[in-house]
Amino acid sequence: MREKLNSYFSYVFEDELLDEIVQVGTYKKLRENELLVDLGDQIKGVPLLLNGAIKIVREDKKGEEMLLYFLERGDTCASSFASALSSGKCGIRAIAEKESEVIFLPVEKLDEWLVKYKSWRNFVIDSYNVRLNEMMETVDTLAFMKMDERLYKYLTDKAQIMRETSLNTTHQDIAYDLHTSRVVVSRLLKQLENEGKIKLYRNKIEILEF
DNA sequence: ACATTAAGTGATT
DNA sequence: AATCACTTAATGT
């Protein structure tokens, strides 16, 4: 576990903090599509993402979904800090988008570390900042971009996060993430294919142009 | 061969 | 851009 931690966090945290993380953290490997956090869950620990990708989704009471952003290696779920420290409910759902490795940090240690380690404080503040920017970007996307642009952005963003040029997904899944209907996605995808930007298969989309 | 699920299409709002 | 109704294609049993 120490080696895995070192490979991504050795330049972020000081050695003593790394030691503590190894002691109190619990390592977990996530299967693809494994549910990490659900709506209204009490947060049991804050995750540090070693590798893989986690999808953060907002959902309303009717089960209507909307993708907020992805977490990548070295990220943490900023929203979980707030709910962990205030022991409130989490307003989001987190799903592993692919096989991922995380270390869960116990809630009790979080504010202790805030005063003890400046690298930890920086990390927390920084991830809040990164997340806020990410959120503003998605708001922009929602407010100012048309569906076809959003779709293309979604595809290229996701391909980058997954580090692949082709995605194994269905039109329906995309429709859930973008909060639209499958028919609309199918039509716009067809359009993108005609423009030569992508190639469509069953359960698979290949991106030809970034 | 049949059932199921994914994707394509025209028409309507 | 959403929804309906229907078709066609791919895949699993």
Residue ranges of domains in chain A: 2-143, 145-207
Complete edge-to-edge strand list for the sheet that includes strand A100-106: A26-30, A100-106, A45-51
Q: What is the pLDDT of residues A174-206, one digit of tens each?
A: 999 999 999 999 999 999 999 999 999 999 999
- A184 CB neighbours strand B below 7 A: no
- A158 CB neighbours strand B below 7 A: no
pLDDT for residue A91 is more than 90: no
For residue A170, the model assigns a pLDDT of 96
What is the pTM assigned to this prediction? Answer: 0.90
Identify the CATH assignment for A145-207 out of 1.10.10.10, 1.20.120.1200, 1.10.8.100, 3.40.50.2020: 1.10.10.10
pLDDT for residue A154 is more than 90: yes
pLDDT for residue A34 is more than 80: yes
Looking at strand B, which nucleotides approach a protein CB closer than 7 A?
6-11
C-alpha R_g of chain A = 18
d(CA A13, CA A52): 20
Nucleotide nearest to A169 (CA to C1'): B6
Query: Domain A2-143 carries which CATH code?
Result: 2.60.120.10
The spacing between the Cα labelled CA in A15 and the C1' in C7, in angstroms, equals: 63
A21 backbone φψ class: left, alpha, beta (φ>0; ψ -120 to 50): alpha
pLDDT for residue A119 is more than 90: yes
For residue A88, the model assigns a pLDDT of 67
For B7, nearest residue by CA–C1' is: A186
Q: What is the pLDDT of residues A95-111, one digit of tens each?
A: 999 999 999 999 889 88
Nucleotide nearest to A204 (CA to C1'): B6
For A147-152, what is the mean pLDDT? Answer: 95
Within A46-117, where are the H helices? Answer: 78-85, 107-116
For residue A193, the model assigns a pLDDT of 94
